[in-house]
Structure 1
Amino acid sequence: MQSSKENTSVCPRGKSILGSVLENSKHENKSVCSVCEDRKNEDGTDRDSNWEQVYKQDEVNGATLSRQKSKDMIKEEAILLRASRSQINIHASLHDQMEQAHLAAHLPKVYLPCGFGPVKPDNGKVFFFDIDNCLYKKSTKIHDLMQIYIHRYFKKHLHLNDQEAYRLHMKYYKEYGLAIEGLVRKHRINALDYNKVVDDALPLDRILVPNSKLRKLLIRLKHEGKIQRLWLFTNAYKNHGLRVIKLLGLGDLFDGMSFCDYSHVPMTCKPMKSAFDKALEDAGVTDPRNAYFIDDSSINVDAASKFGWGHIIQYIEDATADEISKRKAENPNITIIKDIIELPKACPELF
């Protein structure tokens, strides 16, 4: 007897890492669903295999899609589409998929026992973790998305065209380390209002997924007992940092956070010495030689080295041998890893 249900299958590219099916991924008697088919070139290759290619193609076809779409809107859509595809992991084992699904269904509540510090100094060893492009991969393109939102803010609130907005954005970034610092100093922008429409507006829940492997690694690091505290050290405002660790399933593993306080002018952020000194004070470290630090930014890890921090790791995603050799020549005091899961190789004394 034939089933009353539709004879549907699931697009092989439509199953997410969590075992759920992405919207519109079911189809009838097709090898690839219409959503995926729409993103194919004439030669059958994926249009979004390279987001810059998507940007150019969608720009050419922009009149068909929407005459009102700006370039940054098209680029934003391409990044989000790529992010949804990056969650697909058909090579993950059943055990890994089940672990990931369980963590996603039971995300730990965010709890920082030491808050934002300061902790009573005890000079124990503390591991400081950068957040963006460090706890998650740079290839998620969250940084690129953030740049779009910042660029949009410059255009709208300072009434600039694309070129003017880009030049001023880069000028403030180079001068102050954060674009918002220049906006506050030169234009009296309310930094917290800025944060609401930039960092807080990022659709992180559409990009980030829980990382069970990183969670197990951090639990192992804590349980070894060779580190006094795990501490977050970010140039973002606290709201963003808390959102990220929650979505990654790491909300209950860190003891505290040092962040860039957007409500305080002038702002203190990496690579300023005052930011590194404050992080040590927040976490109760009196001797910087007892500080472990991981960051993706060459500027920040070089600053930590200059300020005498004892153990410095730079995370360069998928770094080539030439890139590693070049960075080691520039700063022999750092250790380079290509994936944060390689942390035990960088500091085996802690594991």
Structure 2
Amino acid sequence: MRCQGKVWLFDLDNTLHHATPHIFPHINRSMRDYIERHLGVDRHEATRIRQDYWVRYGATLLGLMRHHGTDADHFLRETHRFPDLERMVVFERPVIHALRRLPGRKLIFSNAPRHYAEAILDITGLGACFDAVYSVENVRYQPKPMPAGFRTLLRAERLDPHRCIMVEDSLPNLIAAKKLGMATVWVSTSYRQSPSVDVKIRSVLQLPERCGRL
């Protein structure tokens, strides 16, 4: 399988930039506080609910929608507010050069809300590297790894999944992509292996050199 003529689908957080140091802790606290306020539970129970829904559904939001009738847009606005997002972003500028070396169209496919994804792309300068951005709103709140979200994107872009390469830090999301027929790249420092992963890299910076292995 050659990279030429393929379409790249990139996750955003912890794939193209490092969200773990500052952004994810802030989002997790915001979600916990939201659940406390709107479900009337204590901090411990709010943390348990957040983590349980994330594990079960791939996104806390989906569990809240299914079990509590939470308004998706309100939840996303309230939990993705940042006092100084630019200061919180950890990004390696050479990633932009690495992406420009990859042949084919490139799309963002993120479980994050659009306002946050666009802010990250603007702060990092990554926006110019991508032809389109698909946030959780664009896939009808069916986040990865749900097949429905993938199919919504594929229909909207009129893509054959066998022409797509999914680049992700989340193994469950890659397993879902592989089942649909996509090639997969796992961005991870884990020693774990998976038959659903075609190429494993520690950083997107390695992607141009490893592209041939796809």
- Where on the TM-score scale, by shorter chain, does this alignment land: which range? 0.7 to 0.9
Residue 73 (structure 1) aligns with: none
The structural deviation recorded for 1:237 is: 1.5
- Aligned mate of 1:284, from 158, 166, 176: 158
CA distance in 2, matches of 1:349, 1:178: 31
1:270-349 pair list within 5 angstroms = 270-286=144-160, 288-309=161-182, 311-316=183-188, 319=189, 323-324=190-191, 326-327=192-193, 330-331=194-195, 333-348=197-212
- TM-score, length-scaled by structure 2: 0.87
1:171 counterpart = 2:62: no
Cα pair distance change 1:126/1:178, threshold 3 Å: same
Cα pair distance change 1:254/1:331, threshold 3 Å: same
Q: Is the 8 A contact 2:18 2:90 kept in 1?
A: no
Residue 28 (structure 1) aligns with: none
Cα deviation, 1:44-79, whole Å, max 9, x if unaligned, reads xxxxxxxxxxxxxxxxxxxxxxxxxxxxxxxxxxxx
1:160-199 pair list within 5 angstroms = 160-199=41-80
Q: Is the 8 A contact 2:168 2:174 kept in 1?
A: yes
Residue 234 (structure 1) aligns with: 110
Cα pair distance change 1:156/1:191, threshold 3 Å: same
Residue 15 (structure 2) aligns with: 134
The structural deviation recorded for 1:150 is: 0.7
CA distance in 1, matches of 2:66, 2:196: 36
Residue 47 (structure 1) aligns with: none
Q: Secondary structure at the match of 1:347?
A: helix
RMSD over aligned Cα atoms: 2.3
1:224-263 pair list within 5 angstroms = 226-227=103-104, 229-261=105-137
Give the letter for the 1:305 counterpart.
K
Give the letter for the 2:134 counterpart.
S
- TM-score, length-scaled by structure 1: 0.55
CA distance in 1, matches of 2:15, 2:84: 18
CA distance in 1, matches of 2:51, 2:91: 33
Q: Kindly tell me the number of residue pairs found equivalent between the two proteins.
A: 210
1:143-162 pair list within 5 angstroms = 143-162=24-43
Cα pair distance change 1:349/1:306, threshold 3 Å: closer
Cα deviation, 1:106-128, whole Å, max 9, x if unaligned, reads xxxxxxxxxxxxxxxxxx52111
Cα deviation, 1:5-58, whole Å, max 9, x if unaligned, reads xxxxxxxxxxxxxxxxxxxxxxxxxxxxxxxxxxxxxxxxxxxxxxxxxxxxxx
Q: Secondary structure at the match of 1:200?
A: coil
Q: Is the 8 A contact 1:235 1:259 kept in 2?
A: yes
CA distance in 2, matches of 1:340, 1:259: 20
CA distance in 1, matches of 2:66, 2:205: 39
The structural deviation recorded for 1:284 is: 2.7
Q: Bigger radius of gyration, 1 or 2?
A: 1
Q: Is the 8 A contact 1:232 1:257 kept in 2?
A: yes
The structural deviation recorded for 1:345 is: 2.6
Residue 95 (structure 2) aligns with: 214
Q: Is the 8 A contact 1:235 1:269 kept in 2?
A: yes
Q: Secondary structure at the match of 2:101?
A: helix
Cα pair distance change 1:337/1:202, threshold 3 Å: farther
Q: Is the 8 A contact 2:98 2:204 kept in 1?
A: no
Q: Is the 8 A contact 1:146 1:199 kept in 2?
A: yes
